[in-house]
Structure 1
Amino acid sequence: MNGLSPQQLTQVYAPLPSAAWLRPLRFAWFLLVLLIGSLLLMELPDYYRYLAGFYSAAFADIGLNAQRYALYLLLLDTAVILLHMLLAGLIVWRRPAEGMALLTAVALTANGAVIPFSVFSRSLAVDSVGLALIRLVIYLGLVTSVWMLYLFPDGRFVPRWTKITAVFWAFLILPPLFLPGSVLDFGRWPGALQLIVLILWCGIGAWAQLNRYEHVSGPVQRQQAKWAALGLLVATTAPFTYYFLLFVAPIFAVPDVPNLFQQRVGTSLFTALVNVRFAAITFVRLLALLFPFSFAIAILRYRLWDIDLLINRTLVYSTLTGLVIGLYMFVVGIFGVLLPVQNNLFLSVLATGLIAALFQPLRVRLQRRVNRFMYGEPQDPVTTLAQLGQRLEAAAVPQQTLNTLVATIPEALNVPYAALHLTELDINWQHGAVSEAVIRLPVHYQNEAVGMLLVAHRVSGERFTPAEEILLQNLTHQAGTAVHVLKLTTDLQQVNAQLRQAQQAERQRLRRDLHDGLGPALAGLTLKVEATRNYAERNPEAAAKLLREYKTQTADIIRDIRRIVNDLQPAALDQLGLLSALGEFVSRNSNGRTQLLFEAPQTLPPLPAAVEVVVYRIATEAITNCLRHADATQCTLSLVSAVELLLTIRDNGVGLSVDYQDGIGLSSMRQRVLELGGTLQIETAVGKGTNIFVAIPLQLPDG
């Protein structure tokens, strides 16, 4: 996904008070880039000389190349600043008309220069104008970085009172930079008070982000907030990691301490510790780049990766890295000082072996702690099944049962996503955000696959515990039963609907026959009887004619009544029974063009009247259709009684086309067969005849 659509942008960003703000913001960002670039070019030579002099003094008489380390740090700081500018420029280029995007670009550009420019302001001989400009850049970086907590991603203060704390922070930062040493300089306050102030303001910002995430943000903004959280997490932990490493590494700023440390542990080990320190500096600076990268991705490509996994892994491995480095320094430093060991290789091997032994247990324990922190503690499987049973008892319909079952999985296992897909019914239930890292569990009922259960991992690549796997298997069994019940319910609902349609069609036919046929005929007879009475004395011949018409019409009415009665219950079945009635119908309709054959046993077991009617109707209608439309030379009717009553009608006629659809009569028969718990299938092909197969159980369903 390359960016956001216009509709999504409308949802993500709240516009600034006026479009007039956009031009000043773009211009301010451009001026900031020019300012930082100019200051960097002007101060880089002095910065290099400062670093070279600092490390030359620290490495005096040790033999390490101070110029090489100074040049390395110079290039590293320059690369960090330029990468911040590059990402900010990309945001401005892709989102030039979005106020929050432009504010983010300003924050990233200034934030990248805060650390090296702080060194410039403290250690370099800079004129008053240059110093003021350097401190302005530092001020913008510190203020906008904290403001991102209060404003991202929609540019609003939520809740509104956080605007007061954000503005107060902007004023609080002014004295240490522009009025150092004054009463208002909180840098002169006790260290504990400074720490409380920093935690308070950052904590309020973090709470504002959580409050926005839970109560205000939509799906898009929540995904962006996760990326922002990753950047802010790194921005918070990186300095602590850096100063921790400075604490455990050699202290270069104190005169003669590096030489004393080197004399105690040896040159090779001291050189290794120096390299570890510079590696730590590199790691922290590169780690800090996640801050601009995360905000750039949040604005431009917020769906690029699985952010939950990145946050999880960042927490685990950043903590693990700090513990490993600290453990290594502790073992080497403490044992090197306390034990009279002259072999530095022995200390290195000891520290490495201890780390190797503890690494995997530490990683597993940290991973569990982080998982509990992010996803909560999974429930006990027994508790889960008990709660699920109570919920299923309260479910009123099968659909609600399956929805409850799917909803239980994320709650019980603390996974982000669960879904159930029914193969035959093409129905889906899902809870949580769709994830690609899922396991697929087939759902069966009596060895028949009826669906698929999808469950996301808590963290990509992490396996479920054996107890959780057993729980999932139990849930699939319950899901299989529930799916079967749903399928039966759906089939029953369809059959009931079709039966109601057939019954309504039957009522309408009877109404037409009675209203349009018998009703007018009987009314006409009434009129003719009255006319006959009038003509009886005056015109006997006319009366005799009316009586003859009356007789003919009465015969027609009797035939209609017999037809209606026969449609309701064929008279042949009452008079002859099913076998004889079918045999009589075949004999009566056989002709020279189509040979009709009837194959059946001598006797049949006693059959319900409903079964006899359905079989007779299907057989007679199928034969009638064959004689009228199939152009067949032979049609065979067979009846077999086994576990089921099997009726087969085969002909060698023209067959049916592939787009054939059931007519009203055959559709009604299919519904009647389904009502009896049976099946009706038609096999046909153009030029190859038609086969109709009907199977009806001899033990009919109740009701």
Structure 2
Amino acid sequence: MSRLTLGPVVVTTTAIAAVGASVWLDLATTSAERALALTEPATATALPGVLLAIAAVVVLHARPRDTVGWLLALVAVAWTVDGALYGWPAYSLARDLPGSDFAYWFVGRVGAFLLSGLVALLLLYPTGRLLTGRWRPAGVAVLVASLALPTMLLLAPDSVVFTRGEPVGSTEIVRLPFSDATAELLLRLAQVVTLGSIVAAVALVWVRHRGAGPRERTQLRWLLWAGIMCVLMVLAGATLSVGGTVTTVLLDLAVAALAVSVTIGLLRPELGDVDALVAWTLTTAVVAAVVVLVDVAVLAAGSELMGDRLDERDVTVLVLVLAVVVYGPLRSWLGSGVRRLLLGRRGDRYGAVSALAARLETSGTVDEQLPALAGAVAETFKVRHVRVDVLAPDGGMLSASHGPAPAEVQAIDIAYQGQQVGRLVLPVQGFRSMLSHRDQGLLVDLVRQAAVAIRARLLATELQESRERLVLGREDDRRRIRRDLHDGLGPVLGGVALRLQAAGNAIDADPGRARELVALARTEVSGALDDVRRLVHDLRPPALDDLGLEAALRQQADRVRSEVDVAVRAEGLVGLPAAVEVAAYRIVSEALTNVVKHAAAGAVDVHLEAGATALTVSVADNGRGIGPDVTAGVGLLSLRERAEELGGRCEVTCPDGGGTTVRAVLPYGTAVPDTVGTSERSSR
């Protein structure tokens, strides 16, 4: 069996043997013998080491080379051995057996190294390495400081270490050349330094958390939960002011929390919702503290007011009645209030959603709805900063924020019907920013509801602007056609009529002049026909009627073929509505013009495919693409407007392979695709 696989077996065997020895020593000694030796039951002291040993075995079984796992194993073995030796003095002194001085020496002088093990665990978890960079010297210094108390305990005289005089003989290895007073002062200073190293180690855990990745942060939050549980157990023991079994149980619970959290954090950090666990633990602890304080105050007041008038039985009955009838509902309301104060309204899912609905209902424009959403999320989750970014119709970004921005934030996408329409930005740090799965569900509900309202408002605004552009464009076309007819074609035709009349009058008197006038009239009529053709082309390209859509596009491709190689492919272009043909022709023409002017491409692929309900148009080039900082110009906006006039969509993208792709869906059936690129969905 190799050393790596032997480790868990050795740890398990040692822990079981030490605990077995502790149980046997407790059963073999009496309370009087333990009192004479100034010791307590050994099993209670060794039991936390067993919990750590179980954690170490589980970790080392899965990851035999894990540094933190070996550290846990070392601490577990030392803890269980310390517990077994703690029970030996009572047994050996009562039976005049050797080894009591060694047991006192180990428990009193070596046991303090367990504190150094705790500091090392904080500094090395979860990677097994100290922090790198400028924080590495700080980690080394903290680790050295944690050895101050254990080292001083090894060197101090017995009279300072064992104030109650437990050892029979001497346990001193090296005696310091100081007086007992000086040695005691140095021991107290070492105690402060070692305890301070624990605080510094916790601070370095926070530093590690700030610079860690997502998985490591989750692992550190498991350690955070264990730390919270340890603090709560210590505070509970100090508040209750009890010893013996209760203190032992609290210590065992704290160590169990540490063992379980470290094991999960090292092996399966994603096993549970640790953020929800941390938030629930903190909230429950605060609520319990407040409720207990009020309980004590109510009982003290009741005893003070009625204790002298009623006997103990009557006071008990009266307090129980008051607790059930009056204080029970008050206590529930108080707990809910504290939870809302700490975590906001995330527990009231319906209330949060309905409150946001009321806010959005009273907000008219998007500029009012965005701050309403940011404020609702901040109030619901009790976070200091929320920012909402929403994509505007022109490609820009509309933003609204609530509260000052922290140093580090996290972004959550806002989607509507599978399309991203914006994002929600929240803080990363702080336990209020730890979102449980239930909290994430509530956040999704809030964002989904707001996204529908904001998207509807944006679409309404965009529709209104599109209508205005259509009306203005239609009036501009009418004004242009009127001007062309009135100022161009009208005078020409009027001049032709006058020349023909003059030619008729001159036929008999001056036939040559009549022929000249007829020739001039013919020239003017030819010019008028050109104007008519131009007007007709602006209304609808004649090539669509003369050649059809595919041939007309090939004709457009031939015009730019000297600049770029164009390939035209078409499928099913039969019986298309006139408006769809015109839109497709204009979109392809504009896209080809943009390619020649801006793309510096060598080839363009034009593909048209008619489905059951829509025509899909794609123009893809292999040029340099469009930079992310380029603002959409008139040409790109006109492409989108021509598609939207028919209820379709048009998007311009730059694929990873390079170039630019213009893709439009032009519906002509009863079903309209909701996203670009799904024109055949309803037909398949």
TM-score (norm: length of structure 1): 0.37
Q: TM-score, normalised by structure 2?
A: 0.38
Q: Which protein has the larger Cα radius of gyration, Structure 1 or Structure 2?
A: 1
